Amino acid sequence: MPLLLENIGEELDPSLEPLLLKQTFKQGGVDCIRLGESVIEYSNDFRFYITTKLWNPHYLPELATKVSLLNFMITPEGLEDQLLGIVVAKERPELEEERNALILQSAENKRHLKETEDKILETLQSSEGNILEDERAIQILDSAKIMSNEITKKQESREGYRAIAKHSSILFFSITELTNIDPMYQYSLNWFLPMFCLLFISNKSKILERRLQFLIDHFTYNLYCNVCRSLFEKDKLLFSFLLCCKLLFNHSTKNDLIYSIAPICYYTVLLTKELDCYLSHREAFFKNPEDFKPIYDSKDPYTVGLPAPWCEQLNDLQKMIIVRCLRPDKIVPAVRKYVTCSLGKKFVQPPPFDLSKSYLDSNSTIPLVFVLSAGADPMASKS
């Protein structure tokens, strides 16, 4: 008999210790266990399952040795497939229904095929009959082949919507990293999925590529606006930059990725051996520092081009790292310009808080929580 304990924290109630250690004893010839003041019978078929919704729980070694830890946290690929199913079910419901029906039929055919294979093996062992004369086996094999081809065709049609599913999966795992900035910034999949379903109200088009772009643009900005509601003002530009980097990370070549996520500081950029893209220019930098004087002296250093060959061999993000090294005081406007060029101007202009719109997104089980700073008076927003 299984027992499920849900939503635990990082510590367990000490009263569960006998269960975790299986501290059973015989009483009257029956296996028993003591829980608190009670002694109850214990069955060897008993199974105890414990789950948590904590994003990244840290359990002490003393607890980890008493249980079997399994990580069921969703992966980017798993979420991508889940979102793909939602998109196709909304955009091409007949296609998704046919595919699901074919999968069920395919499973049934596999069961029949397994039964036939067992029968064939039995026939071989008994050396009676001719396998090629077994019409049922041949029919099932032919049917399985046809069914497999049909499922493949349906799957290929679904793949046309893979772009929006992958893009949305990237966005979800981007916002989950906001907890590294402030532990209060936490967003669940249960919150994300209903918002994802709202993207289908975006502009329509019979051309798949245009429709996908409408979906991507609509959902990206809608997610940005919703997340910005819960961010401190100082973190909103950082969030936009995070989206930029994550999308770049997933759409760039391997070499671009290495340099794009590298540590940003003077010594790690110009001196460390970890950043190969800067090594070939390191000596030139120290031999000809005057080439970088215009950047250092400029009021807008992020608008000044780098000297050759830097300007030709570094991408925009790598160039911004150089600006960060030479003029750390100008990194904020540089980031703002980078986000504007990559995602658009609206991603550096977070919308003002709208209480009425926030209220519409709530319901009887999803309340609004206001975190007030000292001296803030939200009552003025109600007038």
For 136-150, write each residue's pLDDT tens digit: 666 766 776 777 777
Distance in angstroms (rounded) separating the CA atoms of residues 150 and 8: 45
Alpha-carbon distance of 303 to 319, in angstroms, equals 10
pLDDT digits (tens, 9 = 90+) for 321-346: 878 878 888 889 999 999 999 999 99
Flag the least confident range among 7-11, 173-177, 272-276. Answer: 272-276
| Mode of pairing for the β-strands spanning 47-50 and 30-35 | unpaired
| DSSP-assigned beta bridge partners for residue 25 | 32
More confident residue, 280 or 197: 197
| Non-local CB neighbours of 310 within 8 Å, separated by 6+ positions | 281, 319, 322
**pLDDT of 189 strictly over 50:** yes
What angle in degrees, to the nearest 10, is found between the helix axes of 162-175 and 76-91? 130
For range 185-203, the mean pLDDT: 87
Of 255 and 174, the structure prediction assigns the larger pLDDT to 174
134 burial level (CB within 10 Å; 0-12, 13-18, 19+): middle
**Residue pair 246/173 in contact by the 8 Å Cβ criterion:** yes
For residue 148, what are the contacts with CB-CB under 8 A and spacing of at least 6? 106
32-74 pLDDT, tens digit per residue, is 999 888 999 999 899 999 999 887 788 888 888 889 998 888 8
